[in-house]
Amino acid sequence: MNDFNYQRFTEITLKSHPTLNEKWVQDIIAEDPTILGLGDLVVKDRERIQPRAGRLDLLLQDSELSHRYELELQLGSTDESHIIRTLEYWDIERRRYPQYEHTAVIVAENITSRFLNVISLFNGFIPLVAIQMKAIKLGDTVSLLFTTVLDQITLGLVDEDEELELTDRHFWETKRGTKATVSMADKLLSLVHDFDPNIQLNYVKHYIGVQRDGRSNNFVTFRPQKNSIRLSVRLPKSEETEKIIEEAGLDILNYTRWGKYQIRLTKNDIQPQKEILRDLMKQAYDNTNF
């Protein structure tokens, strides 16, 4: 016998719902863009005005500033005007900001097979992702489920240090993390100092990177949050590395398309696992050139 009770959920059609509208969905995604399954994203802009072309629903950006996602949201089924608008906004943004990679993202309640057949013709030529969204009701709770039904091909990288918006320690202590979680970046930096005492923290808007003599080279980055810190380590993907991280009991989040392991650390993780963390960061350091 298990200890769980089964409860049936019901599916809601948002297009015809009196209160759960497109703005509500936008608010949910903006609060936590990771629910889309596209990685560690942040909101760059909402209802972004496009020259002679309306408004882009959401402009999302990866946490390390190399990739932007132009997202259009559609309640109900996809249609021809939706794909044209999505591709138009994607094209405008990529021309305005060529230093980034850009991906067009379509989110709709119902992505039809005919629609998939059409947009699949673009995949490989136009980086395009189609995500089907379902709203479900369980008791008094409504949740959104996002399923990627058409993914893009993997694209090349641009320099992650282009067009950085500099901040400072106070910004991270008050706007993104806390004094306690920013101090965790100091503790991780002290481990880096064991093999290079000249490395310093570099505070930018979406992450805390590292630099030496004013030159950035983010073999590691840190993202303090409210109760933890996210450590990104640039290493080749390997079963051996993953086994080391998992056997240490560390919370490995994912391996990004930019070649980094992301690990969530709490205040109780760093001291007990300092040798493993130092070794991972040293391997990343040895693979880079300052």
Do residues 106 and 235 both lie within one domain?
no
The answer on 180 and 146 residing in a single domain is no
Note the pLDDT of residue 156: 39
Hey, which of 47-56, 98-107, 154-163 has the most confident mean pLDDT? Answer: 98-107
Q: Are 131 and 177 found together in one domain? A: no
Least reliable range by pLDDT among 100-114, 145-159, 220-234, 276-290: 145-159
Checking if the pLDDT of 163 tops 80, the result is no
Task: Say what the pTM is.
Answer: 0.52
SS3 assignment, position 11:
strand
CATH of residue 20's domain is 3.40.1350.10
Residue 51 in domain: yes
Output the pLDDT for position 64.
62
**pLDDT score recorded for residue 39:** 82
What range defines the domain where residue 257 resides? 169-286
Closest CA to 63 of 253, 221, 235: 221
| Domain count along the chain | 2
Neighbours of 52 (CB within 10 A): 6
Distance CA 67, CA 44 (A): 11
Asked if 26 and 135 sit in the same domain, the reply is yes
Query: Is the pLDDT at 154 greater than 50, yes or no?
Result: no
Same domain? 138 vs 176: no
Residue whose C-alpha is closest to residue 209's, from 159, 249, 175 = 159
Asked whether the predicted pLDDT for residue 123 surpasses 60, the reply is: no
Residues of the chain with pLDDT > 90, as a percent, come to 31
CA distance 185 to 187: 5
